[in-house]
Amino acid sequence: MRSSSSSSSSRSETVVVMFPFMAQGHIIPFLALALQIERKNGFSIIFINTPLNIRKLRSSLPQNSSIRLLEIPFSATDHGLPPDSENTDVLPYPLVIRLLEASTSVAPSFQKILQDLILAGRKPLCVIADIFFGWTATVSKELGIFHAVFSGSSGFGLACYCSLWLNLPHRRNGGSDEFSLPDFEEAKEIHVSQLPLNIFEADGEDSWSKIQRQNLSSWFDSDGILFNTVGSRASVGKQKGVTSEICWEWLNAKPLNSVLYVSFGSMNTISPTQMIELATALDKSKKNFIWVVRPPMGFDINSEFKAEEWLPEGFEERIQGRGLLVRNWAPQVEILSHKATSAFLSHCGWNSALEALSNGVPMLAWPMAAEQFFNAVLLEREVGVCVEVARGKNCEVRHQDLVAKIELVMSTEKGSEMRRKACELREMIENAVKDHDDDRDGCFYKGSSPKALDDFFSAAMNMTKSN
């Protein structure tokens, strides 16, 4: 049933405040969720971020969107960060922790935003904030506002990640390289090589441990967690190394299921020796490919890519016509949705994984940080749509092994089976997001995703009424 005009006007007066951490992999799913809430639930959304991120977001919002982008004051240099570094994608890895620490300094401004809304008679129905912003739960609770943490990670990956931070089990396992998680046995055995560097190095007293312990304990002030289970459909502007049209035309000229797409997300890059091995593997495998290249570790990630310095001699000439090197940023969702794309070599960030699966594309996993190792486990062991090819930023990678795994996924019966499973998942995802509003054949079906979102807002309304 469609809403009546009076209930739709009260809906548009209902405020939802959203606040992601300053990283592309966080902002993208938040924006996708904001657009979905605007479209399906008709609420008035206030999307908060630091000034530079808000400026970038302006060009990513559809023109007819009423989402209000709100700048929260933040100056990177006040926190010992380079000028204008307001997003992890412009920071070398060691400075990411400093941005995270600096982000807590906006708490008073955030509280003032909520207080001003209350004073203006527009008390938010709920605050939806980042997994790294546990402190927003405490602020919201004090003001009697329903709060949810929104995770752009998989439930499985996040459970492993939180358990690792809270228990640091590798510090207590008597020197063994394998251990299990005391509060999440479903993860089974974890090997020390699957730990992200910051957890591997953590001893409980380092900066990451301190901030995560504080962050995760504040989650107890929150009223719930939302997970991104069925994919993001928003793209946030970054300087693309190639236009979508050029990419699409290039793919149009390639046979069905013949192209390997290689990308490690918005922040990661590989070491100079790993880059040579990967290039050699792409050269020797003789498959078509699109590779998003960035300067390797140890070089400024935002500097120009120097193919003559970082790739094997003559590489670009040899792969002409067969390989497309995209500098810095590619139109990933478009590439994954093209019929020519066969497989995705990925760091297994959860957005990338969902974008692959919602297009029926199997994966080769090279997890590098955060919960990516456990996303890879979930996709390979539990779901069967992925093969791990390498592990970690400092691992030794041999081009022979990469070639064998590329062959396995792109040219064997096992690879076809993975593609079949990925296509089944694509269908499950399509069904999960279906809503009768979108349905043209008159069948009033509502998928699990919009249903879950309706339940979520009902819970927020019930709590607000009972307050």
> Which stretches of the chain bind ligand UDP, using CB under 6 A?
24-25, 28, 232, 235, 263, 265-268, 292, 329-330, 332-333, 349-352, 355
Q: Residue 441 corresponds to which tokens in the numbers above?
A: 């054949």
**CA–CA dist 417, 197 (Å, integer):** 33
Nearer Cβ to ligand UDP, position 29 or 124? Answer: 29
Residue nearest ligand UDP, Cβ-based: 25
Nearer Cβ to ligand UDP, position 270 or 292? Answer: 292
The pairing of beta strand 15-19 with beta strand 126-130: parallel
**CA–CA dist 372, 157 (Å, integer):** 7
**CA–CA dist 224, 222 (Å, integer):** 6
Nearer Cβ to ligand UDP, position 34 or 292? Answer: 292
User: Is there a contact between 296 and 275 (Cβ–Cβ < 8 Å)?
Assistant: yes
Nearer Cβ to ligand UDP, position 124 or 265? Answer: 265
Residue 222 gets which letter from DSSP?
Answer: S
Distances (CA, A) of 457 to 26, 150, 303, 454: 21, 14, 44, 5
Nearer Cβ to ligand UDP, position 179 or 261? Answer: 261
Q: CB 295 → ligand UDP: shortest distance, Å?
A: 14
Nearer Cβ to ligand UDP, position 113 or 365? Answer: 365
**CA–CA dist 407, 411 (Å, integer):** 5
Q: CB 152 → ligand UDP: shortest distance, Å?
A: 6
Q: CB 154 → ligand UDP: shortest distance, Å?
A: 10
**Phi and psi torsions of 102, nearest 5°:** -65, -30
- Choose among 384, 350, 343, 385: nearest CA to 367: 350
Q: CB 349 → ligand UDP: shortest distance, Å?
A: 2
**CA–CA dist 399, 401 (Å, integer):** 5
Q: CB 173 → ligand UDP: shortest distance, Å?
A: 28
Nearer Cβ to ligand UDP, position 44 or 351? Answer: 351
Q: CB 177 → ligand UDP: shortest distance, Å?
A: 26
Q: CB 160 → ligand UDP: shortest distance, Å?
A: 16
Q: CB 175 → ligand UDP: shortest distance, Å?
A: 31
Q: Residue 52 corresponds to which tokens in the numbers above?
A: 């530079």
Q: Sign of dihedral through CA atoms 309, 312, 316, 322? A: negative
**CA–CA dist 23, 28 (Å, integer):** 8
Nearer Cβ to ligand UDP, position 368 or 418? Answer: 368
